[in-house]
Each structure stands twice: as C-alpha cells, then as structure tokens.
Amino acid sequence: MQRLANWVWWGSVWLLGIGSQVTSVWGHQAPHLAVSVTAQAPATSAKPGSGAGISGQGKMRFKVLYSSERLPEEARKVLVSAHGGFAVDHRPGREETYFALPGAGILQISGDMKQIRLLETAGSMKNVNLHNTTIWYGEDG
C-alpha cells in the first residue's frame, strides 16, 4: 500500500511539474491581444542586377508586377491584416482570383490581373479573419 501511495504522490508531483512548464501557443494573433510581432528575414547581400521591382531572396526571387496602390481604398486601409490564401476560378473563360481581407471583405482579381474589385460582402464575413478562400460551385456551374 505504501508503494502505491508513493507512486501516486510522485506521479502527481511529476504531472504538476510538467503542467507548470506548459505555455499557451497561438497559431494566430487575436485582434484583441496587445502584441506586436514583426517577422524579418535575415539580411543578405543583394545579387547583382537586383533592384526596384525585385523581391525575395535566393531561389525565391520574383518580379513584382503590381503593388498595393492597385487595391480599392477600403482594402488598402486594412492590408496589414492580410492573412490566408487565394482561390482561382479555373472554369473556362474565368481565371479570376479571390481572397479576403478582414475589415474589407472579398476581393476579386481579374484573369488578366489588371483589375481588382471589392465584392459586396456580408458583414458577418467582412469583419472576420477568413483563413483561406474556397470556391463552391453550384449545380449550374
């Protein structure tokens, strides 16, 4: 009986010790948290030929075609809250790209990437952080 009591005692101490080491980890910063996190890539020397309109590092370098000035004003105001992904409508003749910005709503980029428009978005969706974008197709396509 004493052995069982010791086992329970030391097991409890161990669990409390482990439990005290657990910290909360969030996958995303909630808007109400007063935390500011800035991600910054390590500084590297620029490759010859890099300059305006080139972004990224190493093998992940690309040419910037358009920047935020092409976004509707309402979207530019909340661009810092951008989060999630894009969905492309691959139906023939479409090729529009969709994404969402919390505080602005759902945006549509034309297939030729020359126009960006803010779609009418219900308030219940407009002011939340949509983690990704998906297109649901109805029976009529």
Residue 33 placed within a domain: no
Q: CB–CB of 105/125 below 8 Å?
A: yes
Residue 35 placed within a domain: no
3-state secondary structure of 130: coil
Residue 128 placed within a domain: yes
Quote the domain boundaries for residue 74: 67-141
pLDDT digits (tens, 9 = 90+) for 111-138: 998 999 999 999 888 888 877 777 888 8
Report how far residue 56's alpha carbon sits from residue 10's, in angstroms, rounded to the nearest whole number.
53
Q: CB–CB of 134/124 below 8 Å?
A: no
Q: According to the model, what pLDDT value does residue 15 have?
A: 55
Residue 25 placed within a domain: no
Q: CB–CB of 72/117 below 8 Å?
A: yes
The pTM assigned to this predicted structure is 0.57
Closest to 107 (Cα-Cα) out of 141, 66, 73: 73
Residue 113 placed within a domain: yes
Residue 115 placed within a domain: yes
Residue 18 placed within a domain: no
Radius of gyration of the chain (CA): 24
Q: Could you report the average pLDDT of every consecutive run of 10 residues in the chain (141 residues)?
A: 67 53 48 52 51 82 86 90 87 91 92 92 86 81 69
Q: CB–CB of 106/100 below 8 Å?
A: yes
First to last CA, the chain: 71
Report how far residue 46's alpha carbon sits from residue 37's, in angstroms, rounded to the nearest whole number.
25
Residue 127 placed within a domain: yes
Q: CB–CB of 55/62 below 8 Å?
A: yes
Q: According to the model, what pLDDT value does residue 48 have?
A: 44
Which residue type, as a one-letter code, is found at position 131? Answer: H
Question: How many structural domains are present in the chain?
Answer: 1
